[in-house]
Structure 1
Amino acid sequence: MTVFVRVADSGSLSRAARELKLSQPSVSRIVGMLEARLGTTLLLRTTRSLSLTDAGALYLERARRLLAEMEEAEQATRGLDSLHGVIRLAMPLMYGTRAIIPVLAPFLARHSDLKVELSMSDARQNLITDGVDLAIRINVGPLDDSAFGARKLALIERVVIAAPAYLATHGTPATPTDLISHDCILQHGSFGSESWRFRHNKTVTSVDVHARLWINSAPGVLAATVAGLGLSLGTRVMAGEELRSGQLVQLLEGYELDPAEVFAIFPAGPRLSAKVRAIVDHLAASLGAAA
Structure 2
Amino acid sequence: MSDRWQEMTVFARVAECGSLSRAARELSLSQPSVSRIVSALEARLGTTLLLRTTRSVSLTEAGALYLERARRLLAEMEEAEQATRGLDSLHGVIRLAMPVMYGTRAIIPAVAPFLARHPDLRVEIVMSDTRQNLVTDGVDIAIRVGVGQLDNSNFGARRLALIERLVVAAPSYLRMHGSPADPVELAKHACIIQHGLFGRESWRFTHGQTVAAVDVSARLSINSAPGVLAAAVAGMGIALATRIMAGEELRSGQLTQLLEAWQLAPAEVHAIFPAGPKLSAKVRAIVDHLAEALSKP
Normalised by the size of structure 2, how large is the TM-score? 0.87
1:43 is aligned to 48
Percent identity, please: 74
Residue aligned with 1:207, SS: strand
What are the superposed Cα offsets for residues 182-217 of structure 1, whole Å, 9 maximum, x if unpaired? Answer: 011111211231100011121221100011111121
1:238 is aligned to 245
Residue aligned with 1:43, SS: coil
State the number of aligned residues: 285
1:275 is aligned to 282
Over 3 Å counting, the alpha-carbon distance change for 1:50 and 1:218 in structure 2 is: closer
Task: Report the Cα distance in structure 1 between the residues aligned to 2:106 and 2:50, rounded to whole angstroms.
Answer: 42
1:248 is aligned to 255
Residue aligned with 2:203, SS: strand
The code of the aligned residue for 1:284 comes to: A
Q: How does 1:175-214 map to 2 (within 5 A)?
A: 175-214=182-221
Superposition RMSD in Å: 2.4
Task: Report the Cα distance in structure 2 between the residues aligned to 1:81 and 1:50, rounded to whole angstroms.
Answer: 34
The code of the aligned residue for 2:104 comes to: T
Over 3 Å counting, the alpha-carbon distance change for 1:195 and 1:23 in structure 2 is: farther
Report if aligned partners of 2:204, 2:213 keep a CA contact under 8 Å in 1. Answer: yes
The code of the aligned residue for 1:41 comes to: G
1:91 is aligned to 98
Residue aligned with 2:254, SS: coil
Q: Return the offset for 1:171.
A: 0.6
Report if aligned partners of 1:10, 1:128 keep a CA contact under 8 Å in 2. Answer: no
The code of the aligned residue for 2:158 comes to: R
Report if aligned partners of 1:153, 1:262 keep a CA contact under 8 Å in 2. Answer: yes
The code of the aligned residue for 1:242 comes to: E
Task: Report the Cα distance in structure 1 between the residues aligned to 2:51 and 2:74, rounded to whole angstroms.
Answer: 27
Task: Report the Cα distance in structure 2 between the residues aligned to 1:21 and 1:176, rounded to whole angstroms.
Answer: 59
Report if aligned partners of 2:97, 2:143 keep a CA contact under 8 Å in 1. Answer: yes
What are the superposed Cα offsets for residues 35-73 of structure 1, whole Å, 9 maximum, x if unpaired? Answer: 55xx531425666765254xx777555433321121011
Task: Report the Cα distance in structure 2 between the residues aligned to 1:203 and 1:174, rounded to whole angstroms.
Answer: 15
Report if aligned partners of 2:15, 2:137 keep a CA contact under 8 Å in 1. Answer: no
- Select the residue among 3, 10, 34 that pairs with 1:3: 10
1:129 is aligned to 136
Report if aligned partners of 2:64, 2:135 keep a CA contact under 8 Å in 1. Answer: no
Instruction: Please list every run of 5 or more consecutive structure 2 residues that lacks an aligned counterpart in the other structure.
Output: 1-7
2:270 is aligned to 263
Report if aligned partners of 2:199, 2:240 keep a CA contact under 8 Å in 1. Answer: no
Over 3 Å counting, the alpha-carbon distance change for 1:21 and 1:160 in structure 2 is: farther
2:3 is aligned to none
The code of the aligned residue for 2:193 comes to: L
Q: Return the offset for 1:102.
A: 1.5
Is the aligned partner of 1:71 residue 2:71?
no
Over 3 Å counting, the alpha-carbon distance change for 1:200 and 1:74 in structure 2 is: same
Residue aligned with 1:221, SS: helix
Report if aligned partners of 1:12, 1:50 keep a CA contact under 8 Å in 2. Answer: no
2:224 is aligned to 217
The code of the aligned residue for 1:267 comes to: P
Over 3 Å counting, the alpha-carbon distance change for 1:221 and 1:44 in structure 2 is: closer
